[in-house]
Amino acid sequence: MRHCALGIQYIAFLLLLAFAGMAGCGGGGNKLVNPLDRTGSITIEISRSTTPEFSWTSDVAVEAISVWSFSPAGAPDRILWGYRNVSLKPPVTYGAKLNGISLGLGTAPPLQSGVRYRVQVVQNNAASHADWIVP
């Protein structure tokens, strides 16, 4: 009877280790934000951060990238950070200084948790964007 109880405890211990190991896989959850809105032929992925990293599904270079804020009326109203005349492949981090013509005024302002933003990329003169709320 004692051997049976020890066997059950041992199995329970192994299961606990297995579940703990699985919880550690992937860094503890989804690292991407679910966009509120997407348009265009390029699917943009956004990391969960106040300094997000942007990737896109095609490994093709884009010629422009920008991050926009929204007005109280709900429309994109100003560029916070961005560049044009570039040849960028993913990933690109918000606020990074890139070679090209800057679209922002000075240093990129910090993004605020709970606020909606838009990232836009341009490839072959066609824009794609994704809107998201910073976690």
Q: How confident is the model at residue 68 (pLDDT cuts 50, 70, 90)?
A: very high
Total-model pTM: 0.76
Q: Which residues contact 28 (CB under 8 A, 6 or more apart)?
A: none
Structure tokens at 62: 């884009």
The predicted model gives 80-99 an average pLDDT of 95
* CA dist., res. 83 & res. 100, Å (int): 6
Per-residue pLDDT at 58: 77
Sort strands 53-56 and 62-70 into parallel, antiparallel or unpaired: unpaired
* CA dist., res. 17 & res. 111, Å (int): 38
User: How many CA atoms does the CB half-sphere of 46 hold within 13 Å?
Assistant: 28
Q: How confident is the model at residue 30 (pLDDT cuts 50, 70, 90)?
A: low
The overall average pLDDT reported for the chain is 82
By the 8 A CB rule, do 67 and 82 touch? yes
